[in-house]
Amino acid sequence: MSKTVALVGNPNSGKTTLFNALTGLHQKVGNYPGITVERKEGTLTLLDGASVTLIDLPGLYSLTPQSPDEQIARDILLGYRTDTAQPEVIVNVVDASNLERNLYLTSQLADLGLPLVVALTMGDTAARRGVAVDADALSRELGLPVIPLHAASRAGLGELRAVLASPPPAPPVRRWQLPTSVEEEAKELAGLLVQQHQLAPETAFSEAVLLLGTPVAPKTTRWSPEILAHLHGDHERLTREGHDTTTAIAEARYGEINRIVEHAVRRAETPPTTKTERLDRLFLHKFWGYAIFLGILAILFQAMFTWAEIPKGWLEAAIAALARGIQAVMPAGSLRDLITEGMLSGVGTTITFLPQILLLFLFIMILEDTGYLARAAFLMDRLMSRVGLHGKSFIPLLSSYACAIPGILATRTIESHKARLLTILVAPLMSCSARLPVYSLLIAAFIPKTTLVGFHLGTRSFALLTLQGATLFSMYALGTLATFLMAALFHKTLLRGEAPAFLLELPPYRKPIWRTLGFRLGETALQFVQRAGTVILALSTLLWFLASYPKAAPETPKSVALASSYAGKLGHVIEPLIAPLGFDWKMGVGVVASFAAREVFVSTMAILYQAESDDEEEQAKTLKDRLSAEKRPDGSPAYTPLVAICLMVFYVLAMQCISTLAVVKRETNSWKWPLFQLAYMTFLAWFVTFIVHLIGKAMGY
């Protein structure tokens, strides 16, 4: 049986980077049972062939929890969770550039009585700030093994592996002391915890100190009524004696921490100006900070139509060649049609948008790993606080550009319940990567590549921003604007209250670790392909059946057969609801089908128009070409730039994601909020799209 080791540390201490460096591809990510808190486990093989199970616990500043993920980390360390064993060894990741703050958690971990190893990171950042940490002196003062690490260059990883392969180090002896009255109460409470709840003595003392350091007795069923009554009495008695237990415990710990730092740290008399400070003068500037932020976003959206176009073309060619190969070797019939017109057309068309989706994810990962994402949150706090959102809402909202589900889960770091709920309600309005195939298809087909900003170099012209890139940017801008407007509305009506104060740690700027980024990007690609091979494949098969049956007579034109199929009948039923938006019944089938997942709209269109084609030459056309050639019964184009814009606006604002609704239900523990979310977003999408179509028609488009 492998040893279980927990990686524990403050946020931005380099803990996750170390986890990725140690485990590489040998890790799995899921949620703890019954709660949407991410659970990351990995396997590390040591030099002697033994394996170690690493658990990457959520970042926390202390063992006094402020959020659900911090509560999970605390419960695992104290051995309270039945689904996760208490770790046998703790690796405490400590940021050398913020040593005093990080050692507070180290002090609490040392009290648990578990073998503890300190992994000292960010030594290079500390050096740039004029701070030198003597690891050997720090080890002597803490009474713990201290291993300097640099995960990016992998320096120190071998030494850490060697320590984990050795017999666990002995737990350190507690050196800090509480005031006499507080110390006596802590020991008495610890004795009761051992007696009534069979806790280990070290765990009991650690828990007693944590309970005494919390001003309000916890509302929990974990402890017996006698324990809670005793704790309440302790608080009253110590308060009467003039003790502020929270302050007393913190002062006792920091007194020992200051002594340790005095022996282990040397500081320059005049701290140098760091690269982070110089960059922040620009990136946090009142004008240039916002200009740079908008410029970065504009570059991203333009890049999606330039950098990703070549690999997208490769995928399209490969899928078309595969379809031709299948048609060449298989006899004509329903099975071949199912594979080529249903499975391959639906799944294949969706997969061609993988390069653009990966580019979006890579962009967000780079912003996060370099430290710029926290600066963007700082810049946006002033605007967000005016609509009732928390500054910490920005990172969940920006994460929702990739997918609303992790964005909603990221709201766990927001302490205010109202601000968290408000963020959850509006997060799906941010344009996620599932909308990107819809935008990309319609923009490529109906928006010209007109250059808006560019330059000439010799005889060559280079476009910095085209109308296509600007259109994509406008879709994301519309989603962001809708997010803020709806947040302001809900803040003034459903969720009234003062905007909470915003405190955010700004990490130093760092170079991304490309190996880690590559691994995370590979994970994202695998998840997308798995989704295409399961959800989209199943829906594509179902849609092909609905578009192909009941079978019409052989001489019936395919367009007529499609209109009389199950899919055609469904589309004609809902057509009166969507006709005011400029949509026909086929678009309606796509809208209904994509409720399971937004990107299914693309595969639905591919199946419907593939099934309608009468000859192989027509079927060989790309979906973009088939949409451009589609006509209404009166001979007018079914798709125009206005219709394309209306479809995109609808997808910007509509919910269209059953998985997101399920996560909102789990996070809010009620069906009230996801059903409300579905209702308001559907109405908002229909109403705004109707207005856009009305204005466009009035302008002659």
Q: pLDDT tens, 305-331?
A: 677 778 878 887 888 888 888 888 888
For tokens 């921003």, name the residue: 465
Query: Checking phi first, is residue 333 left (phi over 0); if not, alpha (psi -120 to 50) or beta?
Result: left
What is the average pLDDT across 625-635? 84
Label each residue of 466-504 as H, E or C: EHHHHHHHHHHHHHHHHHHHHHHHHHHCCCCCCCCCCCC
pLDDT band with cut points at 50, 70 and 90 for residue 247: confident
- Cα separation, 208 vs 202, whole angstroms: 10
Give residue 105's pLDDT.
Answer: 92
Determine how β-strand 89-95 pairs with β-strand 51-56.
unpaired
Q: What pLDDT is stored for residue 32 in this prediction?
A: 39
- The angle at the Cα of 137, spanning 133 to 139, to the nearest 5 degrees, equals 100
* The predicted structure's pLDDT at residue 31: 42
- Tell me if 32 sits within 8 A of 72, measured CB to CB: yes
pLDDT at res. 640:
92
**How far is it, in rounded angstroms, from Cα 265 to Cα 279?**
26
Q: How confident is the model at residue 217 (pLDDT cuts 50, 70, 90)?
A: low
Measure the CA–CA gap between 357 and 304, rounded to whole angstroms: 9
Check residue 312 and give its pLDDT: 79
Q: pLDDT tens for residues 93-141?
A: 999 988 888 999 999 999 888 899 999 998 888 888 888 899 999 999 9
Mean pLDDT of 76-105: 88
Nearest alpha-carbon partner for 111 in 15, 235, 209: 209
> Has residue 620 got a pLDDT over 50?
no
DSSP labels, 22-71: HHTT-EEEEE-TTS--EEEEEEEE-TTS-EEEEEEPPP-SSSS-SSHHHH
Confidence (pLDDT) at 504:
61
Of 199, 166, 195, 193, which is closest to residue 88 (Cα–Cα)? 166
pLDDT band at residue 651 under the 50/70/90 scheme: very high
Kindly state the average pLDDT of the residues 626-633.
84
Token code pair at residue 514: 């490309």
Distance CA 585, CA 565 (A): 12
Give pLDDT, residue 34. Answer: 41
CA 593 to chain CA centroid, Å, is 25
**pLDDT, mean over the chain:** 82
**How would you classify the pairing of strands 460-466 and 451-457?**
antiparallel
User: With 50 as the cut, is the pLDDT of residue 348 above it?
Assistant: yes
| Distance separating alpha carbons of residues 264 and 614, to the nearest angstrom | 79
Residue 688 clears pLDDT 90, i.e. is over it: yes
pLDDT for 413 equals: 67
Terminal CA-to-CA distance of the chain, rounded, Å? Answer: 69
- Compute the C-alpha angle 226/231/235, nearest 5°: 150
The confidence band for 518, taking pLDDT boundaries of 50, 70 and 90, is confident
Contact 391, 502 (CB under 8 A): yes
The SS3 of residue 209 is helix
The pLDDT, as a whole number, for residue 106 is: 92
Strands (E), 492-616: none
Alpha helix (H) ranges present in 241-371? 245-264, 275-283, 288-303, 309-329, 334-337, 345-351, 354-370
What whole-number percentage of the chain has pLDDT above 70? 90
Highest mean pLDDT, choosing among 399-403, 532-536, 674-678: 674-678
**Closest to 510 measured CA to CA, from 275, 335, 317:** 275
Q: How confident is the model at residue 232 (pLDDT cuts 50, 70, 90)?
A: confident
Give the strand pairing for 27-31 and 3-9: unpaired
Q: Is 664's pLDDT higher than 60?
A: yes
pLDDT tens by residue, 484-514: 899 889 988 887 765 555 556 677 788 887 8
With CA atoms as reference, report the closest residue to 103 among 138, 73, 75, 64.
138
> What is the dihedral sign for C-alpha 252, 414, 90, 15?
negative
Specify the pairing of strand 89-95 against strand 116-121. Answer: parallel
Six-digit token string for 161: 């592996």
What pLDDT shows up at residue 314? 86
Report d(CA 400, CA 534) in Å as an integer: 23
| Mean local confidence (pLDDT), 129-155 | 85
For residue range 164-183, list pLDDT tens digits in order.
Answer: 888 888 877 888 888 888 88
Structure tokens at 429: 């309005």
pLDDT for res 636:
87
Distance, CA of 79 to CA of 87 (rounded, Å): 8
Torsion-angle region of 550 (φ positive above 0: left; ψ -120 to 50: alpha; else: beta): beta
pLDDT at 33: 40
| pLDDT for residue 468 is more than 70 | yes
**What percent of the chain lies above the pLDDT cut of 90?**
15
pLDDT score recorded for residue 583: 93
Residues ≥6 apart with Cβ < 8 Å to 355: 308, 311, 312, 315
pLDDT of residue 642: 94
The pLDDT of residue 346:
66
> Rounded mean pLDDT of 138-167?
85
Residue 96 identity: A
Calculate mean pLDDT across residues 675-690.
Answer: 95
pLDDT per residue over 403-420, tens digit each?
Answer: 787 778 778 767 677 888
CA distance 94 to 102: 6
Per-residue pLDDT tens for 546-604? 877 887 777 777 777 777 888 888 888 889 999 999 999 889 888 888 877 787 788 78
* Residue 343, CB-side half-sphere exposure with 13 Å CA sphere: 13
CA angle 186, 229, 237 (to 5 degrees): 55
Could you give the CA distance from residue 542 to residue 347 in angstroms, rounded to a whole number? 12
Q: Cβ distance 10 to 101 under 8 Å?
A: yes
- Give per-residue pLDDT as tens, 19-37: 888 887 555 544 434 444 5
Mean pLDDT of 612-622: 53
pLDDT at position 166: 85
Q: Is the pTM of this model over 0.85?
A: no
Q: Are 660 and 425 in contact (CB under 8 A)?
A: no
CA distances in angstroms from 77 to 4, 52, 81, 197, listed in the order given: 12, 17, 9, 16
User: With the C-alpha atoms ordered 355, 357, 361, 366, is the resulting torsion angle positive or negative?
Assistant: positive
User: How many CB atoms within 10 Å of residue 631?
Assistant: 11
Q: How far apart are CA 600 and CA 536, in angstroms?
A: 6
Least confident of 355-359, 433-437, 618-622: 618-622
Show me where the domains of the chain are located.
Answer: 3-165, 180-242, 515-698
Q: DSSP label at 11? A: T
Q: What are phi and psi of 292, to 5 degrees?
A: -65, -40
Residue 551 CB burial class (10 angstroms; 0-12, 13-18, ≥19): exposed
* 650 has a pLDDT exceeding 90: yes
According to CATH, the superfamily of the domain at 3-165 is: P-loop containing nucleotide triphosphate hydrolases (3.40.50.300)
